[in-house]
């Protein structure tokens, strides 16, 4: 059993027009999950559709703040979903994991717990900590996968995207209800 490092190449919302890869690594263990541009655009369209406000909210000065908060929470949930996939597919060899803070750690941790309880996958036995240093070996591996130099171990499919959308509906408060 090992402590693994987990990092992401190309943040989910930095560029919606590029692939994103979440990778895990330690020693000989290397595993990556990719969300491609098409999957990201489906999620982005769903998020954008849920950020449309009714006419009564047009004069609200906080509309942009609410949109940004909602989008950031949805991105954190997507990140947590990718993290869950990586941990679940390597749960036999990992006891501890250190994750780079690419999303707000509070939301990422909460959404990871929500997904784990919802899916009943048993990865809650893995200790997850946040605060991996930048410029680590896993980041280089994730970048190689994102650039197409290495093949990803898992690519999100339509079922995964639909599952992410359902999890957003279930766990992320609507944009109108954010303060």
CA-to-CA dists, residue 84 to 22, 60, 81, angstroms: 10, 36, 5
CA 51, 52, 54, 55 dihedral sign is positive
% of the chain with per-residue pLDDT over 70: 89
Q: What one-character DSSP code corresponds to residue 134?
A: S
% of the chain with per-residue pLDDT over 90: 35
Beta-bridge mates of residue 2: 94
Query: What's the pLDDT score for residue 179?
Result: 62
Query: What's the pLDDT score for residue 40?
Result: 92
Banded pLDDT at 1 (limits 50, 70, 90): low
Collapse the DSSP code of 111 into the 3-class scheme (helix H, G, I; strand E, B; otherwise coil) and give the result: helix
Q: For residues 25 and 136, is the Cβ–Cβ distance under 8 A?
A: no
From first CA to last CA, the distance across the chain in angstroms is 43
Collapse the DSSP code of 8 into the 3-class scheme (helix H, G, I; strand E, B; otherwise coil) and give the result: strand
Banded pLDDT at 84 (limits 50, 70, 90): very high
Which pTM does this prediction carry?
0.88
């Amino acid at each position: 059993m090992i402590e693994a490092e987990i990092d992401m190449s190309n943040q989910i919302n930095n560029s919606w027009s590029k692939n994103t890869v979440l990778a895990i690594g330690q020693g000989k263990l290397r595993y990556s999950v990719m969300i491609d541009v098409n999957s990201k655009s489906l999620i982005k369209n769903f998020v954008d559709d849920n950020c449309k406000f009714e006419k009564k909210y047009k004069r609200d000065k906080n509309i942009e703040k609410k949109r940004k908060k909602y989008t950031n929470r949805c991105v954190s949930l997507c990140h947590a979903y990718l993290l869950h996939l990586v941990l679940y597919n390597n749960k036999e060899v990992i006891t501890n994991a250190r994750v780079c803070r690419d999303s707000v750690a509070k939301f990422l941790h909460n959404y990871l717990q929500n997904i784990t309880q919802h899916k009943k996958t048993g990865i809650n036995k893995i200790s997850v900590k946040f605060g991996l240093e930048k410029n680590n070996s896993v980041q280089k591996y994730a970048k190689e996968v994102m650039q197409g130099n290495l093949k990803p171990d898992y690519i999100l499919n339509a079922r995964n995207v639909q599952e992410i959308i359902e999890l957003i509906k279930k766990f992320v408060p609507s944009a109108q209800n954010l303060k």
